[in-house]
Amino acid sequence: MSSDQLLLKQTWAVTRRLMLEQWRQKKGLVFWAVFPATMMLLFGMVYAHNASMRAGLDAAAAGILVGAALFFSCLGGTVAVIAAERERGTLLRLLVTPLRPSAYFLGVVISQLLLALVQVVVLYAIAWLVGAKYNGSVWLGSLILLLSVFSYVGMGFFLGARFAKRSEEVVVALSAIGVPLLVLGGTFFPMEIMPQAMQNVAQLNPMLHMNQAFKGVAAYGKSFADLRFEIIFLVLFCGLSLALGVQSYRHLLGMDKPQ
Amino acid sequence: MTAAIELADVHKSFGNHQVLNGFSLRIPQGETWGLLGPNGCGKSTVLNMLCHLISCDKGQIKLLGKPMTMLGVETRSQIGFCPQRSALYPDLMPAENLLFFARLYGLSELQSQQRVAELMHDFSLTDFSSTPVKHLSGGWQQRLHLAVALVHRPTLLLLDEPTAAVDTEARLAIWQLIEKLRDEGTTILMTSHHLAEAERLCHQVALMRDGKLVAQGSVSDLLARMPDQAVAKVQTEDVSSITQRANLMGWPWRHLGNDVKLFVPLSLSLREIWDALGEAKITSISLQPVTLDDAYLELVGDAASLPTLASKPRHRP
């Protein structure tokens, strides 16, 4: 078996294992669907009630998907995978197999992508049932979602490898870092109602650009040219996030070796 | 014959703590060896080095005749490692755990399925095929843990205290599994605290202390190093008098609390020992042959390993 074939085989093995574990945690799967759907419906109703905001559910579906659903599933999910691997001692066991770090990394990315795909389908199915519409380019929307998922997984590796040694710490890390980012990312409130100082700070928040880019395509039908600033920002952030994730994962492999 | 494992003058420190201090060992292929010694003596460090998890500061390690430094990650396919702590995926079934690791080693889907079925049968895990690992008892988890280490048919098996956390029944079952592997000719290096375990499973044992090899040979060889000795177990409220008398008689001793173990010539009777201890207040005394544990303590001589050992180091006048 060639080196590339082994890499693919190992990547797929990691993906399958993670998906199987996710499947076995049925309650968790239900919550992954219920949480964003509830949020979307609640925020959609609030937006729709406000006459100055058009297409309330269209915007809510997009915002909740990128800002909350993918954040908690992809970023939170990755942190949880790393923390569990460390807690159970399986990371050490993996280190003595020929598993390549890149295969593990890719395996996690793919499993999170598949989960994200399911969330997109579920959320938009519900949104469609209550009358929301997807108004823009599917390809552009997919590109933005892909960049968002990669960014979240990279950040997940970074947070998981650096800060979360135990499963309990995952919730704390997500709450401490994630919720302020969600608020400043315009997931829950429109940016316009925030003070100018907060709006200025929020410009540094990648989640704001994810939100604006995906809302721009999905709710308002904007084109690539309209969203080039957000997309460039996302590409750069995605690169930085993945680099940080890979570096943190390597650090983790060294750190978790016996001493 | 090429040695399966060869460590020569290996040194390793973690910070200021010197864990291995010139450790050397040579294990021929097809043999089962026990690595024994008190906690912290460096047993697990040796195994971790052989698994490529850590490197040595000084010295040379050869695996299957090749220096470790020249071997890449592909050597991991030749080694099966069973860490001390059971490391499995609790939500997966036993076969799914095995299958995952088989795929990591690059076995084809057919080979993986066949190997998993074989291990499930050999390790009597088939009755638990639809039980998630988290619902298995500690003993069954430990069996599966060992099976995972064998999924790729390693030529060299490293076991870190494989029966440390299991009940007697599971220990016996794991011993039988290790015996089967030994009889099939797998080279095995296992750490243990128990000479009885090593005596049953291992061709040879290596005793470590303070990061060095202090003795090696078969268990009977090691017992032969204490010829013509017996152990007098004395319970007393006057430990210092007993130990002073023992020193005068030239009898090595150990004590824990009010219990003192005296290593006495086999020819002495209980009456003669009692008389030799003179005026000391003795609550009870018994005379027994030297056991494997006594030999272990004699050779390793560290009080930290077992709760039954003396709090004071072995004393030899």
Question: For the segment B241-256, what is each residue's pLDDT rounded down to a tens digit?
Answer: 888 888 888 888 888 7
Q: Which of A5, A17, A100 sits opposite B100 (nearest CB)?
A: A17
By Cβ distance, the residue of B44, B76, B132 closest to A97 is B76
| pLDDT score of B316 | 38
Task: Look at A98 and B74 and tell me if their CB atoms are within 8 Å.
Answer: yes
Mean per-residue pLDDT, A232-253:
89
ipTM field: 0.84
Please list the pLDDT of chain B residue by residue as tens digits (317 residues): 778 999 999 999 988 889 999 999 999 999 999 999 888 888 989 999 998 888 889 999 998 888 887 776 677 788 999 988 889 999 999 999 999 999 999 999 999 999 999 999 988 899 999 999 999 998 899 899 999 999 999 999 999 998 887 788 888 888 998 999 999 999 999 998 877 888 889 999 999 988 999 888 888 887 777 767 888 899 988 888 888 888 888 888 888 788 888 888 888 888 889 888 887 788 899 998 877 777 777 777 644 333 333 323 334 33
Helices and strands counted in chain B (H then E) = 10, 14
CB-CB: which of A21, A95, A98 is closest to B91? A21
| B79 to A96: CB separation less than 8 angstroms, yes or no | yes
Q: What is the pLDDT of residues B147-163, one digit of tens each?
A: 999 999 999 999 999 88
Nearby residues of A121 by Cβ (< 8 Å), 6 or more positions away: none
Q: What are phi and psi of B260, to 5 degrees?
A: -125, 135
What is the DSSP annotation of B61-112?
Answer: EEETTEEGGG--GGGGGGEEEE-SS----TTS-HHHHHHHHHHHTT--HHHH
Q: How far is B91 from chain A (nearest CA, A)?
A: 6
Q: Tell me, which fold does domain B3-223 have in CATH? A: Rossmann fold (3.40.50)
* CB contact burial A57-93 (16+ within 10 A = b; e otherwise): bbbbbbbbbbbbbbbbbbbbbbbbbbbbbbebbbbbb
d(CA A207, CA A185): 5
* Domain ranges across chain B: 3-223, 226-300
Average pLDDT for residues A194-223, to the nearest whole number? Answer: 87
Per-residue pLDDT at A54 exceeds 60: no
Are the beta carbons of A258 and B53 separated by less than 8 Å? Answer: yes
* Lowest-pLDDT range of A17-26, A138-147, A157-166, B232-241: A157-166
- Is residue A165 within 8 A of residue A91, CB to CB? The reply is no
Chain A nearest-CA distance from B265, in A, is 43
Question: CB-based contact (8 Å) between A10 and chain B?
Answer: yes
CATH T-level topology, domain B226-300:
Alpha-Beta Plaits (3.30.70)
In degrees rounded to 5, what are phi and psi of residue A192? Answer: -60, -25
pTM value is 0.82
